[in-house]
Structure 1
Amino acid sequence: MNFSRRLLIPAAALLMVLPAVAGDVDTYKIDPVHSAVAFKIRHFVARTTGGFAKYEGTINVNTKDITKSSVDVTIDAASINTGNEGRDKHLKSPDFFDVAKYPTLTFKSTSVKEVAKGKLEVTGAFTLHGVTRTLTIPVSNLGTMAGMQPGSVVAGFEGTVTIKRSDYGMAGMVGPLGDEVEISLNIEAGKVH
Structure 2
Amino acid sequence: MKKLSVLLIAALMGSVAQAAEYKIDTKGAHAFVQFRIKHLGYSWLYGRFDDFSGSFFYDEKQPEKSTINVDIDVNSLNSNHAERDKHLRSDDFLDTAKYPTASFKSTSFEPLENGEARLNGELTLHGITKPISIDVTNIGGGKDPWGGYRQGFSGTTVFELKDFGIKTLGPASQKVEMILDIEGIKI
After TM superposition, is the score higher than 0.5?
yes
Aligned pair 1:46/2:81, yes or no? Answer: no
Q: Which moved more, 1:27-36 or 1:56-65?
A: 56-65
TM-score (norm 2): 0.85
Distance in 2 of aligned mates of 1:24 and 1:43? 42
Distance in 2 of aligned mates of 1:24 and 1:47? 38
1:182 is matched with: 177
- Match of residue 166, structure 1, among 143, 147, 162: 162
How far 1:62 sits from its partner (Å)? 2.8
Which secondary structure state, in structure 2, belongs to the residue aligned with residue 99 of structure 1?
A: coil
Stretches of structure 1 that go unaligned for 5 or more consecutive residues are 1-21
How far 1:24 sits from its partner (Å)? 7.6
Which secondary structure state, in structure 1, belongs to the residue aligned with residue 174 of structure 2?
A: strand
How far 1:142 sits from its partner (Å)? 1.1
Aligned pair 1:67/2:64, yes or no? Answer: yes
Distance in 2 of aligned mates of 1:25 and 1:152? 14
How far 1:68 sits from its partner (Å)? 1.3
1:146 is matched with: 143
Contact 2:20 2:59 in 1 (8 A): yes
1:93 is matched with: 90
Label 1:98 to 1:116 Cα distance change in 2 as closer, same or farther (>3 A): same
Label 1:67 to 1:81 Cα distance change in 2 as closer, same or farther (>3 A): same
Which secondary structure state, in structure 2, belongs to the residue aligned with residue 116 of structure 1?
A: coil
TM-score (norm 1): 0.83
Which consecutive aligned stretches of 4+ in structure 1 deviate over 4 angstroms post-superposition?
none
Label 1:24 to 1:148 Cα distance change in 2 as closer, same or farther (>3 A): closer
Aligned pair 1:56/2:43, yes or no? Answer: no
Which secondary structure state, in structure 2, belongs to the residue aligned with residue 188 of structure 1?
A: strand
Provide Cα deviations, 1:121-153, integer angstroms capped at 9, x if missing partner.
11000111011111110100111022131x201
How far 1:23 sits from its partner (Å)? 7.9
- Match of residue 156, structure 1, among 152, 155, 171: 152
Contact 1:26 1:63 in 2 (8 A): no
Distance in 1 of aligned mates of 2:59 and 2:183? 17
The one-letter amino acid paired with 1:30 is I
1:137 is matched with: 134
Correspondences of 1:2-21 after superposition (within 5 Å): none
Which secondary structure state, in structure 1, belongs to the residue aligned with residue 68 of structure 2?
A: strand
CA RMSD of aligned residues (A): 1.6
Contact 2:161 2:168 in 1 (8 A): no
Give the aligned length.
Answer: 169
Stretches of structure 2 that go unaligned for 5 or more consecutive residues are 1-15
